[in-house]
């Protein structure tokens, strides 16, 4: 469903001419990212699909948030594809909604 060729087209359409995947707007945790350690940042829930071609980027983003001192939770769905939560026919989409609901409720209760 999602390939590097397709996402490259999106990046070329979005980014300034001559930019690549390391542009700070699309790779916030990459070599051109900014230091967010001093920013007030909400607790983050990150979902990673095991069959998503950009799952490694999501995991790097998770590690970057942690190294920046941010409170981040990761949930992995090993057999899922990119944007699986948009397909209600998939049981994992319902599981994601349940996981997300639980995460939000924890944040509200902790406020």
The whole-number average pLDDT for the span 58-81 is 96
Q: For residue range 20-33, what is the model confidence (pLDDT) as tens digits?
A: 888 988 889 989 88
Q: Is 70 contained in some domain?
A: yes
Q: Is 82 contained in some domain?
A: yes
* Domain around 51: 43-111
CA distances to 20, 49, 69, 76, 86 from 79, rounded to whole Å, are: 29, 7, 30, 9, 15
Number of domains in the chain: 1
pLDDT grade for 111, boundaries at 50, 70 and 90: low
The whole-number average pLDDT for the span 43-56 is 94
Q: Is 33 contained in some domain?
A: no
Q: Is 9 contained in some domain?
A: no
Q: Is 76 contained in some domain?
A: yes
pLDDT at position 110, please?
Answer: 85
Q: Is 55 contained in some domain?
A: yes
pLDDT at position 12, please?
Answer: 87
Q: Is 106 contained in some domain?
A: yes
pTM for this prediction? 0.84
Q: Is 4 contained in some domain?
A: no
């Amino acid at each position: 469903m999602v390939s590097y060729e397709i996402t490259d087209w999106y990046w070329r359409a979005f980014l300034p001419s001559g930019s690549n995947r390391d542009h700070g707007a699309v790779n916030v945790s990459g070599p051109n990212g900014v230091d967010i350690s001093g920013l007030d940042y909400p607790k983050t829930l990150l979902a990673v699909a095991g069959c998503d071609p950009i799952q490694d980027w999501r995991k790097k983003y998770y590690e970057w948030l942690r190294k920046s001192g941010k409170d981040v939770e990761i949930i992995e769905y090993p057999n899922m594809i990119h944007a699986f939560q948009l397909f209600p026919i998939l049981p994992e989409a319902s599981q994601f909604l349940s996981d997300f609901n639980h995460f939000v409720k924890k944040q509200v209760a902790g406020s």
